């Protein structure tokens, strides 16, 4: 029986660590597709575009279903759904369309497992905003400060849509079997790594080494995270691509070289962005009730219920 595991993020939940340190250990037994590593000779950026637009072709399907089990880790499908800015306005990209693209890509597998890592919303909002501020949210006057962003998340259903984890679960259930969804927690990945590795061992049937180390850490002190520095060349290229070549994907190696070259022109200091205690309380109080919903609450382990479901009481 052929089995494919689809890991969808969330972004900022240890995804890069999993891709670099854990999933790469499966290369001999699995066909792997991640932004960090792939072993099936496929252009991942082009594949991402095909999945997002639900235009997957037969060659991509055959490359993945080549007799091995499969592992697909594409947190960008959720990430882009949560941060897309078009013509100076936020536009929520539909995850649902990408999920149908994933279903087409994996149609030759007899068993599908979906894995999603979530993170308490105040930390998720802070981390995702900081990662995306300079080259995404700064392009929208409504979202160009953390305070504005938090206000929009709380009051605007579109900006806050996927921070309600039940919404993502509902869309996944619309496309895939309800029995194939596994919800995992960033807090466990951070504080109980051995147990998370045991989960991946049981899921893949492969013995995995426990490897430490954080990836893409942005926290610099309590309540403060650091955003990328402003780079006029990078911003111009990103905006030009969005406007004129939205479907164009550079080869991975060339893209890495280009990023390195552009980074040499960074002359601005990185920006530190602080989330206040009051903002944290507002977010946690707002999402505590949503986290207690039937769609999501039964996934929450007992030791995390107070964190996710009791708001500022916790």
Contact present, 47 and 60 (Cβ < 8 Å): yes
Q: How many CA atoms lie within 13 A of 168 on its CB side?
A: 27
Chain position carrying tokens 């039940």: 166
Instruction: Tell which residue, 227, 83, 87, has the closest CA to residue 160.
Output: 83
The Cα 121–Cα 283 span in angstroms is: 7
pLDDT number for residue 267: 54
Contact present, 165 and 291 (Cβ < 8 Å): yes
Q: How many CA atoms lie within 13 A of 163 on its CB side?
A: 29
The Cα 134–Cα 131 span in angstroms is: 8
pLDDT number for residue 266: 57
53-78: b or e for each residue (b if 16 or more CB lie within 10 Å)?
ebebeeebeebbbeebbbbbbbbbbb
Largest Cα span, the chain: 54
The Cα 132–Cα 78 span in angstroms is: 13
pLDDT number for residue 8: 96
pLDDT number for residue 203: 96
Contact present, 273 and 79 (Cβ < 8 Å): no
The Cα 156–Cα 208 span in angstroms is: 42
Q: What is the pLDDT along the chain (314 residues), one digit of tens a residue?
A: 599 999 999 999 999 999 999 999 999 999 999 988 888 988 888 899 999 999 999 999 999 988 899 999 999 999 999 999 998 999 999 999 999 999 999 999 999 999 999 999 999 999 999 999 988 999 999 999 999 999 999 999 999 999 999 999 999 999 998 789 999 999 999 999 999 999 999 999 999 999 876 655 656 467 788 877 665 566 556 656 555 555 455 555 666 565 566 565 555 567 889 999 999 999 999 999 999 987 899 999 999 999 999 876 54
The Cα 144–Cα 135 span in angstroms is: 10
Task: Compute the Cα dihedral for 232, 12, 40, 193 and give only its sign.
Answer: positive
pLDDT number for residue 314: 47
Identify the bridge partners of residue 225 per DSSP, sorted by sequence position: 219, 273
Instruction: Tell which residue, 165, 163, 132, has the closest CA to residue 146.
Output: 132
Please indicate, yes or no, whether the overall pTM of this predicted structure exceeds 0.95: no
CATH class for the region spanning 3-228+270-313: alpha beta
């Amino acid at each position: 029986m052929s089995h494919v595991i689809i890991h969808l993020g969330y972004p900022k939940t240890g995804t890069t660590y999993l891709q670099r340190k854990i999933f790469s250990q499966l290369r001999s037994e699995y066909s792997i597709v991640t932004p960090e590593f792939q072993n099936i000779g496929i252009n991942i950026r082009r594949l991402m575009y095909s999945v997002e637009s639900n235009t997957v072709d037969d060659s991509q399907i055959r490359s993945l279903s080549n007799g091995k089990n499969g592992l697909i880790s594409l947190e960008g499908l959720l990430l882009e759904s949560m941060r897309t800015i078009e013509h100076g306005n936020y536009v929520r990209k539909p995850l649902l369309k990408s999920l149908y693209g994933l279903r087409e890509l994996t149609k030759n597998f007899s068993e599908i497992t979906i894995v999603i890592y979530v993170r308490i919303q105040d930390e998720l909002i802070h981390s995702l905003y900081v990662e995306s501020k300079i080259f995404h949210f700064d392009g929208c006057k409504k979202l160009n400060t953390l305070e504005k962003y938090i206000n929009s998340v709380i009051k605007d259903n579109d900006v806050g849509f996927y921070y309600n984890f039940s919404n993502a679960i509902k869309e996944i259930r619309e496309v895939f079997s309800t029995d194939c969804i596994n919800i995992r927690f960033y807090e466990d990945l951070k504080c109980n790594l051995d147990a998370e590795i045991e989960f991946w061992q049981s899921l893949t049937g492969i013995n995995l080494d426990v490897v430490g180390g954080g990836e893409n850490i942005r926290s610099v002190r309590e309540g403060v995270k650091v955003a990328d520095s402003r780079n006029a060349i990078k911003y111009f290229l990103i905006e030009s691509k969005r406007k004129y070549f939205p479907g164009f994907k550079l080869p991975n190696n060339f893209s890495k070289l280009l990023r390195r070259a552009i980074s040499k022109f960074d002359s601005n200091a990185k920006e530190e962005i602080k989330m206040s205690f009051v903002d944290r309380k507002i977010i946690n109080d707002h999402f505590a009730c949503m986290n207690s919903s039937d769609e999501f609450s039964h996934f929450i382990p007992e030791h995390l219920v107070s964190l996710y479901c009791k708001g500022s009481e916790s």
